[in-house]
Structure 1
Amino acid sequence: MNPSLIRLLHLASPALPVGAFSYSQGLEWAVESGAITTEAAAKQWISDALHFALARCEAPALIALMRAWSSEDKAEIKRLNAEFIATRETSEIRAESLQMGYSLARLLRDLDDMPASYREALSEMNEIAFPTAWAAAAATWQLDEHDAATSYLWAWLENQVMAAVKLVPLGQTAGQRMLAALAVDLPELANHAIRRAENNDWENFTPGMTLASSLHETQYTRLFRS
């Protein structure tokens, strides 16, 4: 048995009680506006978000936070957490990260296998971004950086595809086609994120997603919280 694999599956599971299923990150508005009406359009939207947002900002932040947790550098953890929160461009996206971060941090405390120093660091933060809490779990369980980044990206990708299946709507087979096609890129995107973390080179220029998220805030009917 590989304990690290079990931990990765745990963190990437849609059953992780952090509420990820309730967010679409602007995808719902893109469907409502008519910008996405087909499997191909949904796949392109998700692919762009994966390559230009997750791999360039969120995943590098995750890696940097894993390193800060592993070295028990509370000042660096707090700095990176605040810096990541500052990259959340809209109220919905910010609220999403903070709600999921709070839920995961509470779960980790309840699981009772986190070092006391990690618990203390989490308790000292008024706002906890999702990558911050996720990185704390990954560092607690001493997960490999590349495996952790790949797992994090997979969890996001699966959630976005399932949102598209509900919203466009698409059949389950179409969803599986998108997952199979887009997942091929995850190992290299994880490598890309690690290189950006090493160079402190985060980038979060995604105006299309930002506009979609902003417009979603006043969308009249909706299934998702973002």
Structure 2
Amino acid sequence: MSTDSEDLLTLTQWLSPGFPIGSFAYSHGLDWQVDAGAVSDAEDLRSWLRSTLRNGAAFNDGVILAMAHRGDCEVAELISTARALAASKERLTETLDQGRAFLRLTNDILGTKIAETPLPVAVGLQARNLAVETEQVVALYLQAFISNLVTIAVRIVPLGQTAGQQVLFALRADISQTAVHCAQGTLDDLGSCVLLSDLASIQHETQPVRLFLT
């Protein structure tokens, strides 16, 4: 399948910060990490994001998205797997709320009627309607995932805009390589070994002052 330029623009629209699915409200545990002093500068942020990308929730999202896009697994199984991989109540809320918002918009745009699913499943299913390769879909999804967390870090670490963009730039190879891995992934590849990130999402549930929903 060759990539259609208009479809690529559509996918970029769906995964841009301007697409109103509320991504800005979810810090994926970064809120707690900053409050606890675990992320206090650009290098801390880069390391934390790289771990999440390579071995954590971002990687799992990428594999599930790829499988949904390829259509080689039952959707119901992908949904139950995505829910089971949520390390905390907040993580589950995060993926379900954004998936619901994404489908509400894209169902209207495309005239589809896909029922509520976690976000990576939703993106994978809707991207079937576009002439975009699985690897590209995953890469843009991961770029959006990491970009959102960078913008949050810029506000709360705090980092300067330049430092934030330098972190994102430094992760471009990791995003690209992870997308390649995820695009070929199966259920057997799923798993997380970024325990501090998962614990952060749990700790955030009882954090006295919370700036974000997760």
Q: TM-score range by the shorter chain?
A: over 0.9
Residue 169 of structure 2 is aligned to residue 180 of structure 1: yes
CA distance in 2, matches of 1:166, 1:179: 15
For 1:62, the equivalent position in structure 2 comes to 65
Residue identity matched to 2:150: V
Residue identity matched to 2:70: R
Give the conservation status (yes or no) of the 8 Å contact 1:55–1:189: no
Q: How far did 1:91 drift?
A: 0.5
Question: Aligned-residue CA RMSD in angstroms?
Answer: 1.7
Residue identity matched to 1:179: L
TM-score (norm 1): 0.88
Q: How far did 1:222 drift?
A: 1.7
Of 76, 79, 96, the residue aligned with 1:78 is 76
The within-5 A match list for 1:133-172 is 133-172=122-161
Residues paired across the two proteins, number: 211
In structure 2, relative to structure 1, the CA distance for the partners of 1:3 and 1:200 (3 Å cut) is farther
In structure 2, relative to structure 1, the CA distance for the partners of 1:7 and 1:200 (3 Å cut) is farther
Q: How far did 1:217 drift?
A: 0.6
TM-score (norm 2): 0.92
Task: Give ranges in structure 1 of 5+ residues lacking alignment.
Answer: none
Q: How far did 1:58 drift?
A: 1.1
Q: Residue by residue, what CA displacement relative to the aligned partner does 1:115-140 show, whole Å, maximum 9, x if unpaired?
A: xxxx2xx23xxx51001111122111
Q: How far did 1:54 drift?
A: 4.2
Q: Residue by residue, what CA displacement relative to the aligned partner does 1:109-164 show, whole Å, maximum 9, x if unpaired?
A: 221443xxxx2xx23xxx51001111122111232101101000000010011111
Give the conservation status (yes or no) of the 8 Å contact 2:99–2:120: yes
Residue identity matched to 2:60: C
Residue 32 of structure 2 is aligned to residue 33 of structure 1: no
SS at match of 1:25: coil
Q: How far did 1:205 drift?
A: 3.0
CA distance in 1, matches of 2:150, 2:58: 17
SS at match of 1:184: helix
Task: Give ranges in structure 2 of 5+ residues lacking alignment.
Answer: none
Q: Residue by residue, what CA displacement relative to the aligned partner does 1:60-79 show, whole Å, maximum 9, x if unpaired?
A: 110001122xx7x7xx0111
Residue 200 of structure 2 is aligned to residue 212 of structure 1: yes
Give the conservation status (yes or no) of the 8 Å contact 1:101–1:129: yes
Residue 195 of structure 2 is aligned to residue 192 of structure 1: no
Of 53, 57, 72, the residue aligned with 2:56 is 53
Of 102, 105, 108, the residue aligned with 1:104 is 102
Percent of pairs with identical residues: 32
Q: How far did 1:212 drift?
A: 0.5
Q: How far did 1:195 drift?
A: 2.8
Residue identity matched to 1:221: V
Residue identity matched to 1:222: R
Residue identity matched to 2:146: L
Q: How far did 1:21 drift?
A: 0.8
Give the conservation status (yes or no) of the 8 Å contact 2:66–2:184: no
For 1:43, the equivalent position in structure 2 comes to 46
SS at match of 1:185: helix
